[in-house]
Structure formats: C-alpha cells, structure tokens
Amino acid sequence: MAKKKEKKNRKRTLVVLLLLLLLLGIGALVVLKVFTVEHVVVKGNELYDDEVISRWVLDDEYSWNTLYVYLKYRFREPETIPFVDTMEVSMRLPHTIEIQVYEKGLLGYVEMESVGQNVYFDKDGIVVETSSERIEGLPRIEGLSVDSVVLYEKLPIKGKSVLKNLLALTQLLKKYQVVPDTISYGEDMTYRVEYGSIRVLLGNAVNFDDKVVRLAEILPRLQGQAGTLHLESWTENNTEIRFQKDP
C-alpha cells in the first residue's frame, strides 16, 4: 500500500514538473516570438536624429527583444551621449520601445582656441559640455576670451553685466526665432549679430527686447541680400531703422 502511494506521488510530481517545463517553454516562446522590437519611438530629441538615438540604446546582440531592452534599462541608465542629460527607456507595446530624451539646454557656445574645444553653455551661463563637435542651430559667441572652464560652473567672463546681457540677448533671439550664426561683443561694449551676409548692429545693452522684435519683423524681407541693418540707435523716441546694402 505504501509503495503504491509512493508511486502515485512520484507520478504526480512528474506531471507537475512536466507542466512547469511546458509553461516555461510556452513562456520562452512568447518572449522570443512576441516581444520583438519592430518600432522605436524617440521623443524630445533635437540635436540627434531618431536613428542615432535608437542605435545608441539598442546597442547589443539581444536588443532585438523589447522585454530584454526594457528590463536592461530598468536597472541601469543608457551610456552617456554628448549633449544629452538623460534618457528614459520604456516598453509601450510588445513590439514598441519608447525612448524619452532629455537634452542639455544649450543656448550657445564659445570657442576655446587654446585647446581646440567649443564650450557650450545653458541659459544661466553654466558650462554644460565641451566638445570639438559643432552643433548646428546654436550661435557662436565672439569677442570673449576664455582660457579655461570647469564643467557645471559659470563661464569665466570678466564683468557680471557682460555675461548677463549676453544671456538675455541670446534668449530673446531664441524666443523670437531669429537665432543668428554669431553674436559678437565689441570692445566698445556694443553687440552685433550675423545671419550669413546680413549684419545687424544692436548697439549697447539697452532696449534689447524691442530691438529683437523689430529684427524678427524685418529679417525675412532681407533674404538674399547682403548688408548691415542698423538698430543700434533705436529707441521709443528714435524709431529710424536703416539697411545699408553692401556695394
């Protein structure tokens, strides 16, 4: 009787083991066949295109599997990429990986010629990146001497008002969608911006807001031309604006 009971228990254990193996096999098949990367949705990226971000995140031989990618980045962050603060990776559907990119808030850059690097800074004048790479769509700041910088500290520019005014001007130009190729600060404490063959004289740091508003209105009409737009003397009482064509 005891042997019969023992045999029955062994049979029951075997059935349970077989069922477990079957479930594991089905689970493995589901993971292999259902959780495959067919779509990658990238959000928040401006400096890098979707393909570059996708290749950066799906960076090993198992990255064809959405569940693997999701679990991988649950326990570690993606490798750092220049000009990007962080990236969050999630699985929206069994076939879809979503990558949320948080780029560093770059406002412009200064060339540090001594080491052949570009120093990128944010809206507060904090150095957020140094790189030999040049990012399109950001203005180069000229007329400033920068010999050394420290990441995540302010640009070492003499005179508090100089940096403050440059940041204010750069943010206004971005706000009104007239970001230039270069912003120049002269020894006479005046400012100039350039758009290809168009030079705009803004004068000293007075009425920047009004001057940039006028610039945004006028600039589209100057496409294809070459010359200097004079806004340096513009005030509420002197509203004359002159465009001097190159000979």
Distance CA(76)–CA(61), nearest Å, equals 17
Low-confidence ranges of the chain (pLDDT < 50): none
Tell me the CA distances in angstroms from 128 to 93, 103, 166, 190, one per residue in order. Answer: 35, 11, 17, 26
User: Where exactly are the structural domains of the chain?
Assistant: 39-103, 108-245
The 10s digit of each residue's pLDDT in 18-39 is 566 655 655 555 555 567 888 9
Amino acid 92: pLDDT: 86
User: Tokens at residue 128, please?
Assistant: 């957020």
Share of the chain above pLDDT 70, in %: 86
Amino acid 226: pLDDT: 96
Amino acid 10: pLDDT: 63
Amino acid 64: pLDDT: 86
Classify strands 198-203 and 191-195 as parallel, antiparallel or unpaired: antiparallel
Would you tell me how many other CB atoms lie within 10 Å of the CB of residue 113? 10
Instruction: Give the ranges where the chain is alpha helix by DSSP (H).
Output: 2-33, 50-57, 66-72, 160-175, 208-218
The 10s digit of each residue's pLDDT in 68-96 is 898 899 888 888 888 898 999 999 888 89
pTM exceeds 0.85 for this model: no
Choose the CATH number for 108-245 among 2.40.160, 2.40.50, 1.10.287, 3.40.50: 3.40.50
Q: Is 39-103 in CATH node 3.40.50?
A: no
Distance CA(186)–CA(63), nearest Å, equals 52
